[in-house]
Amino acid sequence: MLDTLTHWSLSAPSARWLAVTDLACLLGALLALVAALDHGRRARSDNPAQAPRSPLARLATLLMVVATVTILVSVFCRWREVNHFPSQTMGEVIVMFSVGLLLSMLVLHWALGIFQRGPGWAVIDDLLIAMVLVGVYYSDAHAGSLSSAQRDLPPALQSYWFAPHIVALIFSYATMGIAALICLVFFCLRFWSGVFLGGQTRTSQWLILLGLVLVPFSQVITLPIFLLSAPVFLWLAKSARLPGAQALGRLEKELDEISFRAFAVGFPFLTAGLWMGAFWAQEAWANYWGWDSKENSALITWLVYVLYLHLRMLGRYRGERAMAVLMAGALSVFITFQVFGYLPDSQKSLHRYTDDSVAPMEGQMTPGAAGTDSDEGN
């Protein structure tokens, strides 16, 4: 205990506020899960439409607000510690992603108003809040394991475009991540309802299973949720409380609509982030697009989401087909945001943030100028 207090007293202010954020996230996630159980009980009452919202859910939302405020204070403290907008290193960028997750969830919580539709829908809202808060906690833990050394901002990044470019992209990544969580709930619901109720083809079941288990890099998120949903369905089936196929079908349609609304919030920010990056490049190097590896990866992500929008609006894709494309976009975001930075070729990119010993050599950079530039976290 004394060692913990000593470590706390010696930590930078940004780290202290981040620890408060993590505590609020853990408590909020726990309350959200208990609230989900409470709302589930109320949904099975004789008059669920008149059942009030659980006070535990209000406390969980309040703790999410507290976590948002404290992590913003942590970012401000880090800004003062490094004397520039804190999005240069991987650790700083991950903390900014946590900020984006919390802000996105708050926007979607009140904008979509799922919890106002009744206790059954409040369960979904509670579970989303719990997943986001747990995601923030583990993201912060990962950020804390990375280097927190202070570094000066390279000349190429000392631009008024730096902060808005990063913020727009990180917020879009976070919002698309929440949309992907909704898709994940959809596919878990589709798979386990097929197991316990039938009605799904064997091919469909195998495709869902392979997608959740074998898609590279995503198992760290998909597998825990997929496996945790199994005992829930088993308990519902054993207690004869599993909703019928018609009720589950209505739920799937609502999840499809909610995921699209989450996408609609994040996609404009993704587009704006790419545009701001192009304008920044034009001002810095007189070239809107340098075919930097990270630029190309981000462009592929944007094109996947454009395809999703096109198929939904013109191709009338709904349900599992639309969700599959949306999940593909989320996988592309994950590769662009996290996996790409650890690939060997990415170390030559202007956007890399993992190895200070390698100077960026591609895209807008030239070998003569490579020594003056370092990282950009998007």
Identity of the residue numbered 164: P
pLDDT at residue 242, rounded to an integer? 74
For 21-57, the DSSP string reads: HHHHHHHHHHHHHHHHHHHHHHHTSS-GGGPPPPHHH
Identity of the residue numbered 361: M
Cα end-to-end distance, the chain, whole Å = 38
Break the chain into its structural domains and give their ranges. 12-147
Closest by CA to 141, choosing from 104, 111, 98, is 98
pLDDT at residue 352, rounded to an integer? 63
pLDDT at residue 370, rounded to an integer? 37
Total count of residues recorded for the chain: 378
CB distance 60 to 28 below 8 Å: yes
Class for the domain spanning 12-147 = mainly alpha
What's the pLDDT tens digit per position in 57-83? 899 999 999 999 999 999 999 998 888
What's the pLDDT tens digit per position in 153-209? 777 778 888 899 999 999 999 999 999 988 988 888 888 888 877 777 788 888 888
Q: Name the pTM for this structure.
A: 0.84
For 218-261, the DSSP string reads: THHHHHHHHHHHHHHHHHHHHTT-PPPHHHHHHHHHHHHHHHHH
CA distance 176 to 266: 6
Question: Which residues does the chain have with pLDDT short of 50?
Answer: 1, 354-377
